[in-house]
Amino acid sequence: MCLVTGSSGGLGRAFCRRLAEDGAVVAAAGRNLERLLPLIDELPPVAASSGAGELEGATHLPVQLDISDPASVEAGVRLVEERLGRVDVLVNNAAAYGDLTRAPFWELPLEEWDRVLATNLRGPLVMSRAVAAGMRERGSGHIVNITSATFWSGSANWAHYVASKGGLIGLTRVMAKELGPFGICVNAVAPGFTLTEASRDLMADAETYGVERGSLKRAQQPEDVVGLVAFLASDDSGFITGQTIIVDGGRQFN
């Protein structure tokens, strides 16, 4: 069973669809329950032959939670476990992004810095802690952290976002070391600038932004990222951990 945070956004919806198409039972988490309900209706039903084991016959589940609020996370994960059982895969996708101030670091409001770090860095930590106990007990699991290629580009006027995503790369490495003895893989995916609703709201030239800097000369779509996330959520990636893989059409090399 896969738990995906930030499921009402463009990338989150795409992750949920792909994982469901691959046969997973999906718990789609987000702050606004009403925005999650149409997504649940769009997901393919869980097939009896999907290999879901004890979850065969289950349905996908919308889950209201705020990753910056530990009490909300605890309640949300408890609901998922009561309704669907064990969390085999956690995709830490939720993040503060589209509504952020763009300014030099010395002008960024400190309260906004704190909010971004609480969501983008502490949030994945809180989510991972909430599911790690069950994964450790079973001796298996996959955690996929969605970070950002801005860590390599050092995107100017966005220090809080870049710092939070760079911190998540570091957290991924530590979690991989600490959870590895329990058979749990932890990896990160770093998308480049991806055309989502939030990205289009962020800048007027979103359709062409950064295209000239890429090796592949087209705008990045959410569907460009889902294949890697699905792979890292699967047993095929069972000997890969602690890695951060950039998906940006060859704009950054690592």
Query: pLDDT tens, position by position, for the chain (254 residues)?
Result: 999 999 998 899 999 999 999 999 999 999 999 999 999 999 998 875 544 455 556 799 999 999 999 999 999 999 999 999 999 999 999 999 888 999 999 999 999 999 999 999 999 999 999 999 999 999 999 999 999 999 999 989 999 999 999 999 999 999 999 999 999 999 999 998 876 776 766 776 777 777 888 889 888 788 999 999 999 999 999 999 999 999 999 988 98
How far apart CA 86 and CA 65 sit, in angstroms, is: 18
- Amino acid symbol at 225: V
Local structure of 126: helix, strand or coil? helix
**Token representation of residue 59:** 């349905």
Provide the residue ranges of all domains of the chain, joining segments of one domain with +.
2-247
Catalytic one of 161, 168, 247, 249 = 161
Are β-strands 61-64 and 184-191 bridged in parallel, bridged antiparallel, or unpaired? unpaired
Per-residue confidence (pLDDT) for residue 243, from 0 to 100: 98
**Token representation of residue 41:** 């209706």
Local structure of 244: helix, strand or coil? strand
Per-residue confidence (pLDDT) for residue 42, from 0 to 100: 93
Q: How is domain 2-247 classified at the architecture level of CATH? A: 3-Layer(aba) Sandwich (3.40)
How far apart CA 186 and CA 54 sit, in angstroms, is: 24
Catalytic residue flag (residue 97) = no
Alpha-carbon torsion (204, 207, 208, 211), positive or negative = positive
Asked if 23 and 52 count as a contact pair (C-beta separation under 8 A), the reply is: yes
Task: Using alpha carbons, list the distances in angstroms from residue 168 to 92, 124, 202.
Answer: 10, 8, 22
**Token representation of residue 35:** 């925005």
Q: Name the one residue in this structure whose structure tokens are 């983008």.
A: 120
How far apart CA 189 and CA 224 sit, in angstroms, is: 12
Per-residue confidence (pLDDT) for residue 99, from 0 to 100: 86
190 beta partners = 246
142-165 as b/e, with b when 16 or more CB fall inside 10 Å? Answer: bbbbbbbbbbbbebeebbbbbbbb
- Strands ordered across the beta sheet of 89-92: 61-64, 26-30, 2-4, 89-92, 141-146, 184-191, 244-247
Within 13 Å, how many C-alpha atoms sit on residue 228's CB side?
20
From start to end of 24-166, where are the E strands?
A: 26-30, 61-64, 89-92, 141-146
